[in-house]
């Protein structure tokens, strides 16, 4: 199975969480924390700093802690996705410069509205972010781990099963 390594950034700003709107190949839009695929030979830290800059224009100063890790297996699509999501300190002004043309919008979402905005996102985004929000955002909390299996090959009718 083809491996994908992804870094995600949990950026608290102005009492909310920074999220980006992603336009998918099927033209649908979903919201996620900023982040993306780590390039071959790139560390998660370096890739996450790059992805945050491209998707939001924000400059990462520090990765404070790994909040959660996710593994998603998609046997029908022959890939396995691993995600590390980090609490990140960042500053600057929002300016989207996504070379992939996926990110269309970036905004700081009040914490109470985050899960509502994530409803079109895959479970492997909704569940860990919801868990993270429910921890009162404690800096000393342990890194949570989540596992999912994606059954099917089409986004419209695929089924996601949580394994752990």
Give the other-Cβ count within 10 Å of 30's Cβ. Answer: 18
Report d(CA 80, CA 75) in Å as an integer.
8
Predicted TM-score (pTM) of this structure? 0.93
Per-residue pLDDT of the chain (164 residues; tens, 9 = 90+): 999 999 999 999 999 999 999 998 888 999 999 999 999 999 999 999 999 999 999 999 999 999 999 999 999 999 999 999 999 999 999 999 999 999 999 999 999 999 999 999 999 999 999 999 997 555 567 889 999 999 999 877 899 999 99
Contact 24, 155 (CB under 8 A): yes
Instruction: Locate the DSSP E strands across the chain.
Output: 2-13, 16-23, 29-32, 35-37, 59-74, 79-91, 103-110, 144-151, 159-162
b/e map 35-54, b = 16+ CB within 10 Å:
bbebeeebebeebbbbbbbb
First-to-final CA distance of the chain: 20
Contact 148, 69 (CB under 8 A): no
Q: How far is CA 41 from CA 5, 133, 149, in A?
A: 11, 32, 27
- Per-residue model confidence as pLDDT tens digits over 105-116: 999 999 999 999
> Which domains are present in the chain?
2-162 (3.90.79.10)
């Amino acid at each position: 199975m083809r491996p994908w390594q992804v870094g995600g950034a949990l950026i608290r700003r102005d009492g909310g969480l920074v999220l980006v709107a992603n336009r998918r190949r099927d033209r649908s839009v979903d919201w996620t924390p900023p982040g993306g695929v780590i390039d071959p030979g790139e560390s998660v830290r370096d890739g996450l700093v790059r992805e945050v800059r491209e998707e939001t224009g924000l400059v990462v100063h520090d990765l404070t802690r790994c909040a959660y890790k996710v593994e998603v297996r998609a046997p029908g699509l022959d890939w396995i996705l691993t995600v590390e999501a980090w609490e990140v300190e960042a500053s600057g002004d929002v300016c989207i410069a996504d070379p992939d043309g996926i990110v269309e919008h970036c905004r700081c979402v009040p914490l109470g509205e985050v899960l509502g905005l994530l409803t079109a996102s895959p479970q492997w985004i909704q569940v860990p972010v919801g868990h993270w929000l429910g921890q009162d955002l404690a800096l000393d909390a342990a890194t949570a781990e989540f596992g999912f299996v994606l059954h099917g090959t089409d986004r419209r009718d695929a089924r996601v099963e949580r394994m752990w």
